[in-house]
Amino acid sequence: MIWDSIKTISDYHTGLHERKFSVVEAITELYAYIEKRDTDVRAFLQLQKEEALAVARSIDNRIQAGESIGGLEGVPIAIKDNILVSGFPTTASSHILESYMASYDATVIQKLKKAGAILIGKTNLDEFAMGSSTETSAFETTKNPHDITKVPGGSSGGSAAAVGAHMALGALGSDTGGSIRQPAALCGVVGLKPTYGAVSRYGVISLASSLDQVGPFAHTVADVARIFQVIAGADAHDATSHAYDTSSLTHFDQSRARTRTIGVVDEYLHEQGMSHEVSVATQNALERFKNAGYTIKHISLPHVQYALSCYYIILPAEASSNLARYDGLRYASQTQNSKLKTQNLLQTYLDNRGKGFGDEVRRRVLLGTFVLSSGYYDAYYSKAQKVRRLIQDDFLKAFEDVDIIFAPTAPSTAFALGEKTQDPLAMYLEDIFTIPVNLAGLPAISIPVDQEYSKEHMPVGFQLIGKPWGEYDILNVGNDYETNLRN
């Protein structure tokens, strides 16, 4: 079997260059595996087999003609279903968009297509990316590929599970408060949340515009770097995006990595909600850095304790504004279409939005509308923005003494399906270690502590948090851990 010996993009390209298999053969076999494996995992909402094989044939023709292929050509990539792919449904896992067909490609999709990547399908997510377990999806409940009785994390759980189950070599997700890093940790893969503005958000369904960022999943740091290298950079369609020189991102240097000083956050070490398993595993990872000669320094982020409260004011406020456009009329078929002639417009809106949005989306829209309302804006939203600035300042001050910050990714390993769906606060606490990074706009990567997992030993991830535009440092140090320090 072709995929038995393929773990990385380099493995895949080596097989293509040595003519051990063709792209069509590899992609055909992969789809056969997906059709079997995904009956349990449920990572995909839709597959794009016909289009993927057409791209595969064109790449095979180029290889047969003796042409060289680029770093992502022929590589199967899964796409979170809040990212537009022209001619295909984009639902954000919500009934209100279940019949919406994308009319254009998101900028990240344009870049992947130009690089020759093969888009194999759209993955499941929490509805409108609101959730930490992929259980709020209107269509599927995605399972953890290491134990299908447990969650894959969220909101990009489908993308993480697709990579974790070896149904894709890479995937795209979005990270608003941890939605790439937390599922990466729970599924035992690598996930990168870039600096805010490093990747265009054009063509990505907005949740909270000041927090959202698109990033990649893969099995290795090197593969994540390769995908990020393609999707990063300025875009005229996104005023928040910036030019980015990514040319050196995949040139790792162990000697340079080990000159970096790693900061350990005192407030995180004493977080009461962290499980014993996560505490022990992340301490083991930190010990490996120490034993390799890295300088470890304890730091304080005094305002990080307010990050969760701050986030759950800012995010719902922005979400309520962004989701106002989804009235059930402009982007999807009307659930009440047959009644449009017999009722007033307000009732039509109420019916469509009421039936189109799930409970978690309604909860956050109501919270956001409340904190933005007259009399409460100053008491909540304005104050939260001031606290956000204090958190940003804490990070900037810490980075005067350290180059990278080490932290757990999630407070626990993957929890049981249904365990936290009735307790929103317990679910929100899953992102307690990831949210501060989004509030500060920093890059961060989640890396598995170990390589092998079983039902008794579920994956644990740790974060490396970088300075603004410091992706190279966290990728470089992460690659050193993955290739030289991890058991």
Active site residues: 80, 155, 179
On whether the CB atoms of residues 318 and 211 are closer than 8 A, the answer is yes
CA distance 223 to 306: 34
Backbone angles phi, psi at 134, to 5 degrees: 60, 25
Token pair 């000669």: residue: 293
What is the distance between the alpha carbons of residues 75 and 10, in angstroms, rounded to a whole number?
Answer: 10
The DSSP code sequence of 397-413 is HHTTT-SEEEEES-SSS
Residue 43 sits at φ, ψ, to 5 deg, of -80, -30
**Tokens linked to 182:** 């937390």
Contacts of residue 122, Cβ cutoff 8 Å, sequence gap at least 6: 44, 45, 46, 48, 78, 79, 80, 81, 85, 88, 89, 90
**Total number of residues shown for the chain:** 487
CB 174 within 8 A of CB 231: no
CA distance 9 to 448: 18
Query: What SS3 class is residue 78?
Result: strand
